[in-house]
Each structure stands twice: as structure tokens, then as C-alpha cells.
Amino acid sequence: MKTIKTFSALLFLLLFASCASSEPFSYGESRTIKSEILGKEKAIQVHLPSDTGHPNQKFPVLYLLHGQWDMLAAMATLDLIATTVPDFMVVGIDSLGAELDVKEDEDKFAAFLERELFSFIEREYPAADFRILSGHSHAGKYVMQQWLMDTLPVSRYFAFSPSLDDGYILDKVQTLPKDTLGKHKPLLLTMASEGEHMYAPYAKLDAILTAALPKQYSSRHFPEETHRSTKHPSMKFALQASFPEWAPSREVMMSGAAAFKQHYNTLTARYGLSALPSVEMLQQLTARYSVADSTELQAQLEPMFDYALHDLRLSPTPFVEIVDYLTDNGYAQASELYLAALCQTDESIARCKPGATKP
């Protein structure tokens, strides 16, 4: 019981310190792209994740249609489920009805995305080539069209309460053979309480896609949500369904460095993007090891520091901060154990030199 209380108290202190020192929430940076394809300037908003402690990390990108309306909802949802899904860049694209109309013979907006926007973002920002195209309502119908055409270099598609009442998308899906549908990229589809004119085509579409794409398709009906309010639960569902078990379980974290490292290696291989634990998570985890009554957990300090400093090539500075944090909060013995393990891993750290003291 003492150990549990110690873990809980220390974790609370670490989380409180993190929150207290964090920067104010940023909505995003406003940019303008001069598009030759569209023949006009296009406004976008770009949000970068908070500093994860990995200076060269590249982030998957959520490209959000109707960015002028839906950026805030997406950002709020990502904040609610932080640590359970990857850290995302979010690019909100100001887009209106006419340019998102379905035009199979001339889709300038898709050309803008592929030939101008994607390259701009990956040139200007730490963006990985893992892209999600997301849209709600009329923009959701456009996402469905792009998913059916399967020509954009996008990793997966999110369509939230897409406009299905004209039958266009359902007709297209019904004409495609099952094996052709099965080759398409992953799709996440949701529907709010929209009335029978929207639910009926959704139900038929859902039945076809469930049979054709058992591993590439997920859907959720939200009968308690309105067309507008479904943005939050739809984004939460889509992201968590796309990245199940992203966060390491307590069992993995308490099993030590080998299991922890394997967890992130497995994610990297599964999704084709660099999955990395945040420095904050590593600080919290190593601090918990140091205050544990279990010698088995204490013995995991050196392997975890080896993973952090040598495999991930992180700076030792954030971990030296935990040495002082433990001392200042009444965990002197744990602080000594923590520093000894840190110095055993990298004796070149300044605090490991004979006579070194707290700055």
C-alpha cells in the first residue's frame, strides 16, 4: 500500500509540474499558399505538437477539410485523447462547397492537395509522409469520393456524417466488385442522427464495406449526436480505432526497458511511422522505478536509461532534472539511486563528476 501511495503521489507531482510549466494552448499558425492550380490563394492553419523532446521527430499529418470551421473541434479532441494516439500535426484547409463538389473529369482541389499542399507542408514542417484526409458533412462526401478514386497519396480517410442523401456514393460503391473495394486504403465512417434520408444509405453502405474490408474499414453510428456535435466523438473514434493500443499498458511499462522498447518498435513497424515515447513519459517512468519498493523495478533504471540515452539519443538533461526533483520532494534515497543508475549509463554527465553538486 505504501508503494502504491508513493507512486500515486509522485506521479501527481510530476504531472502537476508538467502542466504548470507547459506553454499556453496554441490554435495554430495561419499561412497562405498561392495555388497555381486553383488560381487563387488558399488559407490554411497549421498546428504542431508540443515539444516531445525528440528534436528530429517527424509527425503524421491530419489534413482537415472545412478547416475554417472544424479546426478547433479537431484540436480539442486531440487534446482529450493525448498519449493514446500519435502526436499529430494538423493542417486545417479553408474549403467551401463549390471546390469540393464531385467532379470526376476535373478535380482541381485534389490536384492542389497532391501537387501543392502536401509538398509545401513536408518542405516547411517536420511532417512525415503518413497523411490522413478528414472531412465532415459535404467535405465528408468529398473524402468518400477520394477514397473511391484511390489516387491521392493518403494513408487513410475519415468521413464524418458525409452527405449521402443523393445516392451518389452508394451507387459508386455498389458498382465496384468486392475484391476491388478490398484493395482500397483504410476508411473510418461515422453517421450522426440525420434522419432516414441519410441513415438508410449509410446502413447499406456500411453493410457492403464491412463485408468487403474487414480489416480496413471501421464505422460508428452516433444516434445521440446531431450533425454538428458528431465532430468530437467521430474524431475520437476514428483516431483511436486507427491506432489501437498505441499507449503502452501499465503491464508493459512495469515490465521494464525491453518490453517498453519492443512496444514502440512494434508500432513503428505496424504503421510505417516513427513511434517514440515522449521524454515526459520516460521521466515519469524512471522516477516511478526509483521510488519502488521492488528491487526488480529499481534494477530497470539502467536499461531504461540505456534505451533513452543510447538508442533514442536523448539528452541526459531532463533526467538530471528528475534527480533534483526527487530530492526537493522528499525522495532523497530514490534520488541517489536514480543518479547512480544515470551515471552508470553515461559517466560523462556533468553531475556524475567527483564533487559535482546541484547547480
Tens digit of each residue's pLDDT (9 = 90 or more) over 1-53: 344 445 445 554 554 444 444 444 456 799 999 999 999 999 999 999 987 88
Domain ranges of the chain: 36-242, 250-352
Q: Where are the beta strands (DSSP E) in the chain?
A: 29-35, 40-47, 59-65, 89-93, 127-136, 156-160, 187-192, 217-222
pLDDT in tens, 314-350: 999 999 999 999 999 999 999 999 999 999 999 999 9
Spatial distance between the Cα atoms of 248 and 268, rounded to a whole number of angstroms:
13
Q: What is the mean pLDDT of residues 257-272?
A: 95
Indicate the average pLDDT of the chain: 90
pLDDT, average across residues 274-292: 93
CATH T-level assignment (fold) for domain 36-242: Rossmann fold (3.40.50)
Q: How far apart are CA 73 and CA 235, in angstroms?
A: 9
Q: Of 321, 303, 323, whose CA–CA distance to 312 is shortest? A: 303
CA–CA–CA angle 252, 255, 260 (5° rounding): 50
- Provide the total of helices (H) and of strands (E) in the chain, helices listed first: 16, 8
pLDDT per residue as tens digits for the range 54-105:
888 999 999 999 999 999 999 999 999 988 999 999 999 999 878 888 666 5
Torsion of CA 226, 232, 235, 239, to 10 degrees: -140
* Whole-structure pTM value: 0.88
Q: What pLDDT digit, counting tens, does each position of 206-231 carry?
A: 999 999 998 899 999 999 999 999 99
